[in-house]
Amino acid sequence: MTLPGRKVLLKVICVGDSGVGKTALMHQVVHKKFSNTYRATIGADFMEREAVIEGRNVSVQIWDTAGQERFQSLGVAFYRGADACILVFDITNPRSFEQLGSWREEFIAQANPANPDTFPFVCLGNKVDRNEERRVSKAAAQQWCATSGARPIPYFETSARDGAAVEAAFMQVITLALHNS
């Protein structure tokens, strides 16, 4: 059961270093599928998913962006109008974690949201199915999320491979996006 009324359109942008699993996470969210094959995203691409949140029908446009600089050919004009941003790193790749701050700053600079201090971010430490190769501790990630912005950033440890925490993270993102839209 959903309330009558117009469908809400939400726009979510997913950013992070190349290879952290942004495309794989989006495939898991939209198609519930995973592939081991790596194909770098060129420019940007978006996928849509319908959901019901707080009794409202929402249509979520999730923008999957290129982590590789040479493939960021579309520029970042599509950051405009975003309702939330997902910051992704790979728990086996410390550099991808160290880059989160610059991804966040770049997003704020380009999206230019009305209230940067309260703009909703959610952080995903992905590839948790490879926990034995972990090189970024959960505590370090939680610490960064608690202290890096004007308000704490929710943190999830996800696996695009087996789907762990992916749906919970997605619901958190769209809840925050809805409140910000």
Region of 27-35, 40-48, 115-123, 154-162 interacting with Mg ion (CB under 5 A): 40-48
Could you tell me how far CA 170 lies from the centroid of its own chain?
8
Among positions 28, 41, 96, 175, the unique one binding Mg ion when judged by CB under 5 A:
41
User: With 0-12 CB in 10 A as exposed, 13-18 as middle and 19+ as buried, what is 139?
Assistant: exposed
Q: Which is nearer to Mg ion, 25 or 91 (CB)?
A: 25
Q: How many chain residues touch ligand GTP (CB under 6 A)?
A: 22
Could you tell me how far CA 101 lies from the centroid of its own chain?
14
Residue 22 parent element (H or E): helix 22-31
User: With 0-12 CB in 10 A as exposed, 13-18 as middle and 19+ as buried, what is 21?
Assistant: buried
Q: Which is nearer to ligand GTP, 83 or 157 (CB)?
A: 157
159 binds Mg ion (CB under 5 A): no
Residues between 101 and 140 with contacts to ligand GTP, criterion CB under 6 A? 126-127, 129-130
Among positions 41, 99, 172, 175, the unique one binding ligand GTP when judged by CB under 6 A:
41
Based on its alpha-carbon atoms, the radius of gyration of the chain, rounded to whole angstroms, reads: 15
Distances (CA, A) of 165 to 80, 85, 98, 146, 168: 28, 17, 22, 19, 5
Q: Which is nearer to ligand GTP, 54 or 98 (CB)?
A: 98
Minimal distance, residue 126 CB to ligand GTP, in Å: 5
Q: Which residues of this protein are in contact with ligand GTP, per CB under 6 A? A: 18-24, 35-36, 38, 40-41, 66-68, 126-127, 129-130, 159-161
Residues that bind Mg ion (CB under 5 A): 22-23, 41
